[in-house]
Structure 1
């Protein structure tokens, strides 16, 4: 995947996310008033409509020329550039490898691997006071961009329940001993059938997040937004982990300001895990955050040593979830990691949330 491919992938996701924020209203009267013929306008009344049509044609051309969106998570929670495989750090440069090219679906090569958004729980901060979700982009054998939504969702959920990806630290495997029996997708919801309920050994909130792990993963892989998810337990049990009932449907939080109930406070969305960047080109780190006063601290590490550091302000502070970016400039070839964290507002030294993302410049 070259830089042009990644740019197209980023544009595709950004457009989709922004589109989800649009709330249409009734502006017919206003449009008619603006485009109505007048004595001064003469026959030029049609020009605004022509201009609008031209803009629409351009937008449609860009939109439909981009690859299909495979991740339907609401705006602000999903980011481009999938990378790693389920068994090893991703090869260059970003995911999947190979990854979608910026062409129409008609010209997309058949059999091209699909990037699957998979969520994993991890304890947050020095005090590990809670468990929240991070997202990885993985590929699965036999799953391509031509695969149907059920195939993608089955593969993504199976990855979420399996071993954590190589090269990640701190991710928790909450579904040990439980198998994915089936997954069905209809126009009204997703049904996940599991072999059993899972162990009843975790705190209740961790068990809740474990269920949400599969909810976010299945919904994102299907790509149709907050589609209700129902669970069926093949052994006849009535509650996941013993505390989360199966006689109800599950979904993501209703608003961005509630995403902190499920998602880790800080994500790095680019570079992605194991990404190989081209030497001589400027590097920009991007991510999402739900932190106090929107303040995110960062360090650039090489060989474990800090080579650069600073802080950045996200576009929104807690409880909302904002985005942030740090331009690092041109880096020498080598292996790097970016550590992004929040310091406690109480003492200024305790790390209340953090994540580290390794990448290579070559």
Structure 2
């Protein structure tokens, strides 16, 4: 048996190889894809392969355990309550930003960008095929969690407009086109500039997404406002499809300018979207207006651009602050980090969770904030 002071050549080489491999890993945020994949039933053949893989993993774990039991136990780091999910946001259902989201685009380039025990009321289920009014079977649908982007404000003293992400659960068709149509339709309904506009169809090809809209939308006050409103549709469509920063083209009857400002012939992407297009704070779960079962602990997850990664929070009931504190995000500004706050089990009632960041100068000025109201029953 080797010891930490006298490792064998094989053990030393194994450790060096593992360390080198770990340094090469660059995690990315693909929560949209994970939530969508989790909602799909596992085929029998895939289940067998998964079980086989688990057997191999178990054997590997046994070998690794034999190597590491010879080492003295390292100092234990901070512990979390038993059963608390990892604070690391699962990387946004297929392409969503990593701790530092690729500066996405709204012109002609290429893309990216959180889950809680208090998931939106609906949860993944097996596909269903309800009968249609004509008596013919309707297309199979599945309840999935979709990331919906809308134009909101940053809150605080930097109350600039920007993209806000919110998750919702919905029964949608299994195809990429059906997922994109449902998600973009919801994004359109959350915007004043797109009032009355619907998605006629969403065509997803190998290298492009084409959204056919019923109209060009209202005339925006300026090109920046129009680009932001289009960005909400682009990020939503790409998140629903889950195949990276596919260029998105908008098509309207007559081919006029989009929102009275933008050329419809130009494909839009995330890659050239300025970083400030995203609001500093997102609260991904609980979703606004969601109902959480009283028996379930409430885990708040989100993303933040925060000085020294410090995110402050409050839990309110009406005008009363029940609890407050702070949490350290996975990385500090100017990068975008993830954070999680375990609120535990709450008594039935309506609550508002407030996340905010304060000025680095005196800590008194609120730079950005996000409020989410949810119900426990």
Tell me the TM-score range normalised by the shorter chain. 0.5 to 0.7
Any conservation in 2 of the 1:195–1:235 contact (CA below 8 Å)?
no
Any conservation in 1 of the 2:33–2:95 contact (CA below 8 Å)?
no
Any conservation in 2 of the 1:260–1:290 contact (CA below 8 Å)?
no
Instruction: Give the Å deviation of 1:310.
Output: 1.7
Q: 5 Å matches for 1:198-347? A: 198-237=217-256, 239-253=257-271, 260-279=275-294, 282-345=297-360
Tell which has more relative contact order, 1 or 2 (C-alpha 8 A, sep 6+): 2
Gaps in structure 1 of 5+ consecutive residues: 1-11, 18-49, 60-68, 83-92, 102-109, 165-171
Quick one: structure 1 residues 275 and 176, their matched pair in 2 at CA, closer, same or farther if it must change by over 3 Å? closer
Any conservation in 1 of the 2:167–2:284 contact (CA below 8 Å)?
no
TM-score (norm 1): 0.65
Alpha-carbon distance in structure 2 between the residues aligned to 1:151 and 1:233: 19
Q: Which residue of 123, 148, 172 maps to 1:143?
A: 172
Quick one: structure 1 residues 58 and 358, their matched pair in 2 at CA, closer, same or farther if it must change by over 3 Å? farther
Q: 5 Å matches for 1:62-77? A: 71-76=94-99
Q: Which moved more, 1:71-80 or 1:228-237?
A: 71-80
Residue deviations 1:125-162, cap 9 Å, x none?
A: 2456421112223355x624xx2110111121111112
Q: Which residue of 164, 181, 187 maps to 1:160?
A: 187
Quick one: structure 1 residues 73 and 196, their matched pair in 2 at CA, closer, same or farther if it must change by over 3 Å? same
Alpha-carbon distance in structure 2 between the residues aligned to 1:234 and 1:57: 60
Query: Equivalent residue of 2:165, what SS?
Result: strand
Alpha-carbon distance in structure 1 between the residues aligned to 2:355 and 2:265: 39
Query: Equivalent residue of 1:143, what SS?
Result: strand
Alpha-carbon distance in structure 2 between the residues aligned to 1:136 and 1:218: 14
Alpha-carbon distance in structure 1 between the residues aligned to 2:184 and 2:203: 12
Instruction: Give the Å deviation of 1:299.
Output: 0.5
Query: Equivalent residue of 1:341, what SS?
Result: strand
Residue deviations 1:47-66, cap 9 Å, x none?
A: xxx9999139999xxxxxxx
2:73 — aligned with what? none
- C-alpha RMSD of matched pairs (Å): 3.6
Instruction: Give the Å deviation of 1:360.
Output: 2.9
Any conservation in 1 of the 2:33–2:94 contact (CA below 8 Å)?
no
Any conservation in 2 of the 1:117–1:135 contact (CA below 8 Å)?
yes
Gaps in structure 2 of 5+ consecutive residues: 1-29, 36-51, 62-91, 100-111, 127-139
Quick one: structure 1 residues 321 and 259, their matched pair in 2 at CA, closer, same or farther if it must change by over 3 Å? farther
2:204 — aligned with what? 185
Alpha-carbon distance in structure 2 between the residues aligned to 1:56 and 1:210: 49
1:97 aligns with 2:95: no
TM-score (norm 2): 0.63
Any conservation in 2 of the 1:96–1:113 contact (CA below 8 Å)?
no
Alpha-carbon distance in structure 2 between the residues aligned to 1:342 and 1:184: 40
Alpha-carbon distance in structure 1 between the residues aligned to 2:373 and 2:142: 25
1:54 aligns with 2:79: no
Alpha-carbon distance in structure 2 between the residues aligned to 1:219 and 1:53: 35
Alpha-carbon distance in structure 1 between the residues aligned to 2:32 and 2:187: 25
2:104 — aligned with what? none
Alpha-carbon distance in structure 2 between the residues aligned to 1:52 and 1:283: 30
1:112 — aligned with what? 142
Alpha-carbon distance in structure 2 between the residues aligned to 1:16 and 1:148: 16
Instruction: Give the Å deviation of 1:269.
Output: 2.0
Any conservation in 2 of the 1:260–1:319 contact (CA below 8 Å)?
no
Query: Equivalent residue of 1:244, what SS?
Result: coil
Residue deviations 1:183-220, cap 9 Å, x none?
A: 21101110112344333333432221111100001111
Any conservation in 1 of the 2:314–2:354 contact (CA below 8 Å)?
yes
Alpha-carbon distance in structure 2 between the residues aligned to 1:193 and 1:360: 37
Q: Which residue of 148, 154, 162 maps to 1:124?
A: 154
Any conservation in 1 of the 2:167–2:285 contact (CA below 8 Å)?
no
